[in-house]
Structure 1
Amino acid sequence: MQLDEIQAIFFQECEEGLATVETNLAEVRDGAGDGETINTIFRAVHSIKGGAGAFGFEPLQCFSHHLETVLDLLRTRELSATPDLVGLLFAAFDVLSDHVASAQSGGPAPADAAVLARLEAAASGGAEQPADASAVPVAEDGAEEMDFDLDALMADIDLPAEAPAPWHVAFRPGRAAFDNGGDPLPLLRELEAIGASVLSLDLDALPRLHALAVDECMLGWTLAVPGTIARADLEALFDFMPDGAVVTIATHEATVDPAPEATAPTLRATPAPAAAAASKDAPVAPAAPAASPPPATVPDDGGKASGSATIRVELDKLDRLVNLVGELVITQAMLAQRLSLHGVGAIDELSDLDHLTRDLQESAMSIRAQPVKSVFSRVPRIIRELEAGTGKRVRLEVEGEMTEVDKTVVERIGEPLTHMIRNAVDHGLESPEDRVAAGKPAEGAVRLAAEHRSGRIVISVSDDGRGIDTAKVRAKAVERGIIAPDANLSNEEIENLIFAPGFSTAATVSNISGRGVGMDVVRRNVQALGGRIGITSVFGKGSTFTLTLPLTLAILDGMVVSVGAQTYVIPLAHVVESLRPQAGEVRRFGPDAAVLDVRGDYLPILPVGRLLGVEGSCAEASAAVLIVVETDAGQSILMVDGIQDQRQVVVKSLEANYAPVAGLSGATVLGDGRVALILDVETLVQRQRGDLALGLAA
């Protein structure tokens, strides 16, 4: 394994650790945390610090060390989780995130002097610190030293008459340890720093001189660790052990012999000289006395529970798998089409192939599915920055963060979501003084929610602020020439004017808003994903922005329909039912409009052929097929010439292969090789209803 691959794994672990820190810090802030919550945060920061030291990221290691010091005082109750301290920990978390990003990109380290000074001041208030705390103390040989006198500290503690029994630890790095970044020397130094001593050196795997391989680790150690060290802290030291490493931890009653090495393929690499020296110079002491209870085994799982096994897969490999599954779906459809042309009807094998293809597709898509939590987790920091920049107080409420959606969608909703959050805080929420004057709490609320609805994911951003002043919006739109002064618009149409390019009601331009390049960008990005955005607002009470997006951009179930000589696909998630109207059921009004009475509800009929300019399409509803579809605006009816089939189709992007087309969300290849366009039902319905906010006529 190359060094850059090992570093990539480290940064993945950093992302997981940062997510753990932020989640648990939120619990501490909300008063739901306990001692284990602080321990979890401490272990995550400790792991980041250890990896940073191993890869030479000194600024990240130094900052992690100072944050770890404060967390250690917090978990030992020398400091208490006051609001000020929790606020400091959140600020430190933000800087820690910046340090990780800087180390990953190779850019300059972030400015951390102010937060470091606050961390040092907090630590000085809880425990004595060295005179120079500007860097992590390092010994002459490069080993990290403890920044306090352990013996003096232990002497000051009122211990019971009998000290806790020591831990006995057996540690075998594995033959391929050097290949996978598992140099045991730093770990042995950390163990020595907490008071561990070597009881025995296992030489059983050491071959004769002629068979000795200098790039393999063949030694094992048995050590005694003071019982005052918590087991969880001891286990945390082994977080970065590579695959093949074996660690056992037991109390003094148990015999700990180094466990046999796990079999694993050996990857050749040149070990660090320091590691070889550590293997050669390790001291040997008598083995511990034998006893009956078996030792407890601690798997090298990075501190994670062993309830479920996971494996990391490169995204390129996963994308290739999904693309191949998509081509398999097309090939299966072509095979079924070819057989039907030769008079071969339904056969068991073809039905089995259809089921297997669908199962394979669903399995591949489930692998790509990710919870939106990865995007939602960025929001608390955005809120904190906005609070500092606006002076407003904001309470964030999150719901449905484990809702899963295709990774492509997750990756592309970050920017729209950021715009919506900034808009909600900067434009939506009032200042604390104005809120109190209006009879509201000084602290504003922003709610972020996600849910599955009708085969799509719906993400909403709500606030309890001032809402949209339609009079002000209309006046600004007239001033900018977006609408005519005598335009007759409903409140809903006026509210949607905020999506017009260049529109802004901000009185001043700041680094937060005011340049008119926000909400129109959100709309374009959402439409590029095949989604839509809507808004509802009550003046004086708040606003809600709603994003409706497809769960996946790769494959969908669709109804294949004919319109004139053209073939289209209607996403099945929108379809409610299909019907042929009886004579007299269609009611016409005006030159082109018609409605149909469907069980007491009059639904508008939208002729797809006329909307898309298809020549030769059916013009009379009584001779056509009507398909009832469900959208955010309610139910409507699409009028088509006929229904050909219902099948699973692979979505190909029009934007990437041709150009965006209003009313169409993509294209697909049918079983007979023809290209069919996929209808954007929401856009068609909105355009027919004259929704000015979407601006599709332009």
Structure 2
Amino acid sequence: MSIDLSQFYEVFFEESFEGLDAMESELLNLEPGTPDNETINTIFRAAHSIKGGSGTFGFSAVADFTHVVETLLDQIRDGQRQLTQVQIDLFLQSVDCLREMLSALRDSEEPDTQEAQALKAQFEAILAGDELAGLESNQVTPDDSSNTAVEEESRLGWQIQFKPGKDILKTGNEPIYMLQELGEIGDVELDINLDFVPTLETIEAEDCYFNWDIKLKSDCDLAKVDEVFEWVVDDCEINITPLETLVSAVDEEVSENATELGQAPAAEAITPAVEPENQDSSPAQSAKVTESTPAKKDNAPKNAEASSIRVGIEKVDSLINMVGELVITQAMLTQLSEGDFDKAKLVSLQEGLAQLAHNTRDLQESVMRIRMLPISFVFSRFPRLVRDTSKKLGKQIELKLLGEQTELDKTVMEKISDPMVHLVRNAMDHGLETTEERIASGKSEVGSITLNAFHQGGNIVIEIIDDGKGLNTEKIKQKAIANGLITENSDLTDEEINLLIFEPGFSTADQVSDLSGRGVGMDVVRRNIQALNGSVELASTPGEGSTFTIRLPLTLAILDGQLIRVGEHIYIIPLVNIIESLQINLEDVNCVGGEYDVLRLRDEYIPIIRLFDLFNHEPDSKKMEDGLLVVVEHDNEKIGILVDELLAQQQVVIKSLEANYMKVEGVSGATILGDGTVSLIIDISGAIKLAGLKKSVRRSIEKAVVDLESA
């Protein structure tokens, strides 16, 4: 009787990735010398589990590589050799390598074993007594002929297939600058692929549709090329191979020698061939692929780790208790419905319905708690990021983590990770001074970055704090004037000037780096946070540092909303966006350019959006004074939405309109009201876009009103 092992793949991958996270966390705490026994045992056990599971499922490439890692760990924990910094660095590289190989296997793809072979050779050299092996570049390959080939390849250049992910621009990365960096290390020939560019009607300005075939003529090694794409490897498909002309020459020469020796061409170790899917293969070849690659399920998610969640038993127990209470209440109501209903049962019915509402609310909260995870799942990626980046920048940086057990919804957690990475990188690159600058200003030579999370009301607050030099407000102002964002006469506070760094394309960096300063990123950070119904604030003190404060709802599944009516239609405005509501005094309204109405409210000028015009409805009255104005805040500015009536405030369950129907501009989702009707949730950002009230237009309106009143 054969057992289908593929049914256990998901559990294996989930546990393996958790093991790799544990390895990385413990490795970052290690110091050269004699490590703590428990620490090294934790690392060893994780590696041992991955090796055992890989062998069980036939993932031989992972098992073979992990075996040599495990061997060195075993010698260290037995006291047979001292732990060195070289070994720690190699172990960390091994974690990255294993993560990539397992990710490929999880996604039903053949893993690239080239890096694993290179690292394995270095481990074997250390085990053989060559402690300096780890200092060599990762070009070590298992045989001499491959070494010769790599040396020859580096003298000619590299063929690079660069396919950025669709969302790469939203993570603050710009492909064009990577292409420019390649141009700095050699001669570049580009061939752009436009096959994936959609029609103008469906194109999204923030999505990337291009990919490139790049020929880099340079004598640089592979590590130099990898460095260019270091920060985007998770968001792109990148394939780097030696230039084809030389590979063919090496192939022919090695093949001739291999024929005489009865060996396979060594060049295969450098650029493994991938057989087309429709090409016939021998049974032995098919068996090998089946053995090493998980069976592909048509409905399987690309990232299987996102399809499951690990829940504490106490949360499950609470859920079971709530269901039990609900069953009891249901039985009571059923009993009341039996027989003839009389007035004597009315009080019991009302009590039962009240109990049902209470149980339902408790059950809802219990279910939502199941989706809540500690933010340590996000924070855990930053120690490695700070360690590697600080080395690259030549700065000494200490990372402090506070509030790691603060919980938030899993969906929010997954989407806030990339904006946080960009803010932390920006703090390390721009915020913290060099060691020399810190000493000269009387500071500790070690810079500090603190990540802090805590609950505040119905939100979670995340702070990214650095003790660097703070923002140069005057430099930001001059850059904004040069870019046409403000004028010399603009009356802005320091705080308002500092917030200009969130404007698209704004950067004060004197030179471009692969970390930041490319003129993209901070606007994307704010836009991604606002897409989560959150906000980002900035406080900076010159010479003392900066604090970025992110405020997010605890969950994206439930929303506190204000119901509003426009004609016969009911809409919901997120309560978090609403500042106030009021009746309009026409004396405070100005019309600018015959197109935009603006309300003067306490020395502010608020553009007005007529919701009935926006969504083509027939209102109770088109006269502005007959309606109500709901003042909402977006992008740190206020907008007025004209409606017919304010209804109740209530908590609503959000349903995705895009997943169930299609994307509708100006609408972020839908919900079902108590009477069974569907109500749409207004997307403030989309509504502003529909109304044509971009920030530049809003500034022009404000300036026109000021000019009008002064005249």
Asked if the contact 2:117–2:141 (Cα under 8 Å) also holds between the matched residues in 1, the reply is no
CA–CA distance in 2 between the matches of 1:500 and 1:455?
28
Identity over aligned pairs, percent: 42
Residue number in structure 1 paired with 2:556 = 553
Matched, 1:521 2:524: yes
Aligned partners of 2:457 and 2:635: how far apart in 1? 11
Q: Taking structure 1 as the reference length, what is the TM-score of the superposition?
A: 0.56
The change in CA–CA distance for 1:532 and 1:34 in structure 2 (over 3 A counts) is same
Matches within 5 A, 1:447-526: 447-526=450-529
Distance 1:307 1:604, change over 3 A: closer
Q: Residues 166-192 of structure 1: CA distance to partner in whole angstroms, max 9, x if unpaired?
A: xxxxxxxxxxxxxxxxxxxxxxxxxxx
- Whether 1:371 aligns to 2:366 is no
Alignment of 1:87-486 (within 5 A): 87-105=89-107, 106-109=110-113, 111-112=115-116, 115-116=119-120, 119-120=123-124, 123=127, 347-486=350-489
* Structure 2 unmatched ranges of 5 or more: 134-139, 143-309, 317-345, 591-597, 702-711
Total equivalences in the alignment: 479
Paired position in structure 1 for 2:22: 20
- Residue 356 of structure 1 and its aligned partner are, at CA, apart by 3.4
Aligned with residue 67 of structure 1, among 69, 75, 78: 69
CA contact (8 A) 2:611 2:643 kept: no
Q: Does 1:644 align with 2:647?
A: yes
Identify the residue that residue 8 of structure 2 maps to in structure 1: 6
Q: Secondary structure at the match of 1:77?
A: coil
Q: Which moved more, 1:497-506 or 1:482-491?
A: 482-491
Q: Which has the larger radius of gyration?
A: 1
Aligned to 2:404, the other structure's residue is in SS state: coil
Give the secondary-structure state (helix, strand or coil) at the position aligned to 1:36.
Answer: helix
1:46 CA displacement: 0.5
Residues 693 and 29 of structure 1: CA distance in aligned 2, closer, same or farther (over 3 Å): farther
SS at structure 2 position matched to 1:524: helix
When residues 515 and 604 of structure 1 are mapped into structure 2, their CA distance, relative to the original with a 3 A threshold, is closer
| Residue 57 (structure 2) aligned to one of 50, 55, 61 | 55
What amino acid maps onto 2:80 in structure 1? E
The CA deviation at 1:501 is 1.7
Aligned AA for 1:379? F
CA contact under 8 A between 1:626 and 1:640: conserved in structure 2? Answer: yes
| TM-score of the two chains, using structure 2 as the length reference | 0.55
Contact 2:432-2:468 at 8 Å conserved across structures: yes
Q: In structure 2, what is the equivalent of residue 43 of structure 1?
A: 45
Give the 3 Å change call, closer, same or farther, for CA 645–592 of structure 1 in structure 2: closer
* Structure ranking higher in helix proportion: 2
Distance in 1 of aligned mates of 2:496 and 2:637: 16
| Consecutive unaligned residues in structure 1, runs of 5 or more | 136-304, 312-343, 582-587, 596-602
Q: Distance in 1 between matches of 2:449 and 2:439?
A: 17
Q: Name the CA shift for 1:347/1:476 in 2 (closer, same or farther; >3 Å).
A: same
**Do the aligned residues in 2 keep the contact of 1:493 with 1:692 (CA within 8 Å)?**
no
**Post-superposition offset of 1:561:** 4.9
User: 1:60 touches 1:103 (CA, 8 Å); kept in 2?
Assistant: no
Q: Distance in 2 between the 1:393 and 1:693 partners?
A: 41
Letter in 1 for 2:436: E
Cα gap change, 1:419/1:639 in structure 2, threshold over 3 Å: closer, same or farther? same
C-alpha spacing 1:474/1:684, structure 2 compared with 1 (3 Å) = farther
- Aligned residues of 2:665 and 2:686 also touching (Cα < 8 A): no
CA drift at 1:676: 4.0
User: What is the match of residue 148 of structure 1?
Assistant: none
- Indicate the SS of the match to 1:47: helix
**1:500-529 Cα distance to aligned partner (Å, 9 max, x none):** 222222333343233322122222222222
Q: Which amino acid aligns with 1:521?
A: V
Compared CA separation, residues 420 and 357, structure 1 to 2 (3 A): same
Aligned partners of 2:697 and 2:428: how far apart in 1? 24
Equivalent position of 1:218 in the other structure: none
Q: Secondary structure at the match of 1:498?
A: helix
3-state SS of 1:413 partner: helix
SS in 1 for 2:115: coil
Which moved further from structure 2: 632-641 or 515-524? 632-641
Q: How many Å separate the matches in 1 of 2:33 and 2:454?
A: 27
For residues 623 and 79 of structure 2, the distance between their equivalents in structure 1, rounded to whole angstroms, comes to: 78
Whether the aligned pair in 2 keeps the contact of 1:450 and 1:460 (CA below 8 Å) is: yes
* Contact kept in structure 2, 1:466 and 1:539, CA below 8 Å: yes
Secondary structure of the structure 1 residue equivalent to 2:481 = helix
Contact 1:569 1:677 (8 Å CA) reproduced: yes
Alpha-carbon distance between aligned partners in 2 of 1:410 and 1:457, rounded to the nearest angstrom: 11
**Of 672, 679, 688, which aligns to 1:669?**
672
Do the aligned partners of 1:94 and 1:381 also contact (CA within 8 Å) in 2?
no
Give, in whole Å, the separation in 2 of the partners of 1:534 and 1:413.
Answer: 15
Report if aligned partners of 1:371, 1:404 keep a CA contact under 8 Å in 2.
Answer: yes
Q: Distance in 1 between matches of 2:311 and 2:642?
A: 55
- CA–CA separation in structure 1 for the residues paired with 2:687 and 2:451: 28
Q: Secondary structure at the match of 2:430?
A: helix
SS of the residue corresponding to residue 481 of structure 1 reads coil
Residue deviations 1:457-488 (CA, integer Å, cap 9, x gap)? 22222222222212222222333333345433
Cα distance per residue 1:179-211 (max 9 Å; x no partner): xxxxxxxxxxxxxxxxxxxxxxxxxxxxxxxxx
**Aligned-pair distance for 1:637?**
12
